[in-house]
């Protein structure tokens, strides 16, 4: 990058922007960006892959020279398979070095489409059909992993699919299946053998994201989007050449691929891959602090659930001083968890915000300036974030005032190019160039943003987006159900988990356990199976007859808080919780406690704070 920036506040960002981004960025493709980083030292380590956390000292290492050769070989192979600039290469892979070979090789030859391999086969098929997948790259058949059986189940029902590439498995070329390891070696690694001139507006990737329509939503992101994101992250993180970062988030998600992938690769840095399953690997989490001490990374990205797990693991005598900070996002982080984890680990947490449609990151608390706990920080350089007041039809009315809640909207060089299917693009752009994220929030006088809720109905379970329609549609297929709605219920570990509210048809004789059995066998995404079913007399409706989901979310919060506060025991005679909309915080739980005779108010409030420490919904205590 050459330049050094110190970002402490919004004024520093505005000073950076005095020079147009076009004068700072010369690369036109992600391939060119990685090539530039690799040229710093071709013998440097690009990736250290830890297969098992208990054997973290024995990684598979890939140098930059080897990395670039594999990207070129992969791109050449895909081009020879007929992939052109507008053709899609889908992959179903865990976190492996090969995943990076495929991702960046696919972006050079055509368009990369990462898919969550934990999705059910029918959902994967729908995404491939929507994307128009030409080549599918997937992990071969392995004990305990169901990726290849899914591929075998769906590959003949994707009309556009011409070839399948199997990673860690044999070829069956008569069936159109090619071994990645065998086939890629047939191609040159010292040069590209096809001619493609990439323009910054060319589409580089299609990442699937959650939605509210029940159909796959594929976000189109250009090479220019991904390059602009990387430049902004360089300025905000001040990552230096040869520094190491760790990746435990999945490589089907843009945080794993871009923040802890493209960013360090662009600087010739080392990416430490924390096993094929990342943070879900118990051996990685058990040895996490030892891994930090050994590889000396300067940062990692995670979601709040990761911090919850690490909070219970002793740091011991591990030297983790190399970590300058960690970036936490994807779901709200409770203030108490924030403080406890910093005290436990000595690390600095930078809360941030972004979404697939903004290429990954839009805001972050400045590492060199004031951090406001609970906020998502200030915008990244060259990105534009505003809170807007929209009409009932979703159209722009005006910019929100300072501290006024409205719709969080983004624009700028990282704003995506829309969804693949035009049906998903209706109403997205509130005014020219401005994308409505669906999140509600406010901006304070210092330019820090605070999320207060979501207009869109996604349920975010530990950073995993769940479309309520994937729960509601199977419920409506069950006899005896008149109306159904799925919402997120607060959860101390995952941020929120899905629950379903059901109104029964007259005369129906089914119970919550019957409905629970039904959804277990009819919902195609395991993470979406509701943690609870609530049968209610009547589901709340708006004046025009639509389900009023905020009331259901408030009820789910009430149930959760009342369950936790039952542990007040002898301190309270009674506890009541009322949850409603709040003009400042979005949602507020008012807790009314009738104190037991002789109970001290301070003691009660301290115990309430302890019981609700890991939840993010604001509350106020009234003692009577």
**pLDDT band at residue 459 using 50, 70 and 90 as cut-offs:** confident
In what helix (H) or strand (E) does residue 605 lie, and over which residues does it extend?
helix 601-611
pLDDT one-digit tens code per residue, 67-93 = 999 999 999 999 999 999 999 999 999
Query: What does the pLDDT read at residue 511?
Result: 93
How large a percentage of the chain has pLDDT more than 70?
A: 97
**Residue 448 and residue 442: Cα distance in Å, rounded?**
8
Q: What's the average model confidence in pLDDT over 4-21?
A: 93
Is-same-fold flag (459-539; 552-623)?
yes
Residue 157 has pLDDT above 90, yes or no: yes
Query: What does the pLDDT read at residue 38?
Result: 98
Query: What does the pLDDT read at residue 427?
Result: 80
Q: What's the average model confidence in pLDDT over 99-124?
A: 95
pLDDT one-digit tens code per residue, 34-59 = 999 999 999 999 999 999 999 999 99
Residue 227 has pLDDT above 90, yes or no: yes
Residues 188, 179: contact at Cβ < 8 Å?
no
Q: What's the average model confidence in pLDDT over 451-466?
A: 77
Residue 213 has pLDDT above 50, yes or no: no
Lowest mean pLDDT among 128-132, 291-295, 543-547, 583-587: 543-547
**Residue 25 and residue 5: Cα distance in Å, rounded?**
15
Among 20, 36, 30, 33, residue whose Cα is nearest residue 381: 20
Query: What does the pLDDT read at residue 428?
Result: 85
Average of per-residue pLDDT values in the chain: 92
Query: What does the pLDDT read at residue 293?
Result: 97
* CATH code for residues 552-623: 3.30.300.30
Residues 490, 615: contact at Cβ < 8 Å?
yes
Among 424, 482, 478, 532, residue whose Cα is nearest residue 127: 424
Q: What's the average model confidence in pLDDT over 612-616?
A: 89
Query: What does the pLDDT read at residue 226?
Result: 98
In CATH terms, 459-539 corresponds, of 3.40.50.1820, 3.40.120.10, 3.30.300.30, 3.90.380.10, to 3.30.300.30
Residue 256 has pLDDT above 70, yes or no: yes
The SS3 of residue 12 is helix
- What is the value of pTM for the model shown? 0.82
* CATH code for residues 10-375: 3.40.50.12780
* Residue 571 DSSP label: G
In what helix (H) or strand (E) does residue 193 lie, and over which residues does it extend?
none
Domain ranges of the chain: 10-375, 459-539, 552-623
Q: Give Dmax over CA atoms of the chain in angstroms.
A: 83
Q: What's the average model confidence in pLDDT over 292-318?
A: 90
């Amino acid at each position: 990058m050459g330049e050094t920036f110190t970002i402490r506040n919004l004024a520093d960002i505005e000073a950076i922007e005095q020079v147009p981004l076009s004068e700072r960025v010369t690369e036109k493709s992600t391939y060119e960006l990685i090539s530039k980083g690799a040229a710093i030292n071709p013998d440097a380590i690009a990736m250290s892959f830890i297969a098992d956390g208990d054997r973290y000292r024995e990684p598979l290492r890939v140098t930059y020279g080897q990395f670039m050769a594999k990207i070129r070989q992969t791109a050449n192979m895909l081009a020879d398979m007929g992939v052109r600039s507008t053709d899609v290469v889908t992959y179903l892979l865990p976190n492996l070095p090969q995943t990076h070979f495929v991702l960046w090789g696919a972006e050079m030859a055509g368009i990369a489409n990462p898919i969550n391999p934990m999705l059910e086969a029918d959902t994967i098929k729908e995404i491939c059909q929507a994307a128009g997948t030409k080549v599918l790259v997937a992990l071969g058949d392995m004990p305990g992993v169901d990726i290849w059986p899914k591929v075998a189940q769906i590959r003949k029902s994707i009309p556009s699919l011409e070839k399948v590439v199997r990673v860690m498995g044999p070829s069956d070329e008569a069936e159109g299946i090619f071994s990645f390891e065998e086939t890629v070696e047939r191609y040159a690694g010292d040069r590209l053998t096809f001619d493609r001139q990439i323009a910054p507006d060319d589409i580089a990737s299609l990442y699937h994201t959650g939605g509210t329509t029940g159909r796959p939503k594929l976000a189109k992101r250009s090479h220019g989007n991904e390059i602009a994101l990387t430049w902004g992250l360089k300025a905000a993180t001040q990552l230096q050449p040869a520094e190491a970062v760790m990746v435990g988030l999945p490589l089907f998600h843009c945080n794993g691929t871009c923040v802890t992938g493209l960013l360090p690769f662009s600087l010739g840095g080392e990416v430490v891959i924390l096993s094929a399953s990342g943070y879900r690997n118990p051996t990685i989490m058990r040895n996490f602090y030892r891994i930090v001490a050994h590889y000396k990374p300067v940062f990692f990205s995670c979601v709040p659930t990761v911090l919850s797990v690490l909070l219970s693991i002793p740091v011991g005598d591990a030297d983790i001083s190399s970590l300058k900070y960690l970036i936490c996002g994807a779901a709200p982080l409770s203030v108490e968890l924030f403080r406890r984890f910093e005290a436990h680990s000595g690390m600095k947490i930078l809360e941030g915000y972004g979404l697939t449609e903004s290429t990954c990151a839009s805001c972050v608390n400045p590492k060199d300036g004031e951090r406001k706990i609970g906020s998502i920080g200030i915008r990244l350089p060259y990105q534009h974030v505003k809170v807007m007041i929209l009409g009932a039809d979703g159209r722009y009315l005006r910019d929100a005032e300072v501290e006024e809640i409205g719709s969080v909207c983004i624009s700028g060089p990282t704003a995506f190019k829309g969804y693949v299917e035009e049906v998903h693009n209706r109403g997205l752009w509130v005014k020219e160039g401005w994308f409505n994220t669906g999140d509600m929030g406010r901006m304070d006088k210092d330019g820090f943003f605070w999320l207060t809720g979501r207009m869109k109905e996604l349920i975010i379970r530990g950073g995993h987006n769940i479309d309520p329609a994937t729960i509601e549609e199977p419920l409506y297929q069950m006899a005896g159900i008149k109306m159904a709605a799925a919402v997120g219920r607060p959860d101390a570990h995952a941020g929120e988990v899905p629950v379903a509210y059901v109104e029964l048809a007259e005369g129906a004789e089914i119970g919550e356990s019957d409905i629970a059995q039904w959804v277990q066998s009819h919902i195609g995404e395991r993470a979406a199976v509701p943690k609870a079913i609530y049968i209610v007399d009547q589901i709340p409706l708006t004046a025009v007859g639509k389900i009023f989901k905020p009331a259901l979310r408030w009820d789910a919060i009430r149930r959760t808080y009342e369950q936790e506060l039952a542990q007040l025991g002898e301190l309270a005679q009674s506890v009541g919780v009322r949850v409603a909309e709040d003009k400042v915080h979005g949602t507020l739980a008012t807790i009314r406690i009738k104190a037991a005779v002789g109970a001290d108010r301070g003691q009660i409030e301290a115990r309430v704070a302890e019981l609700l420490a890991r939840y993010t919904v604001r509350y106020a205590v009234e003692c009577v």
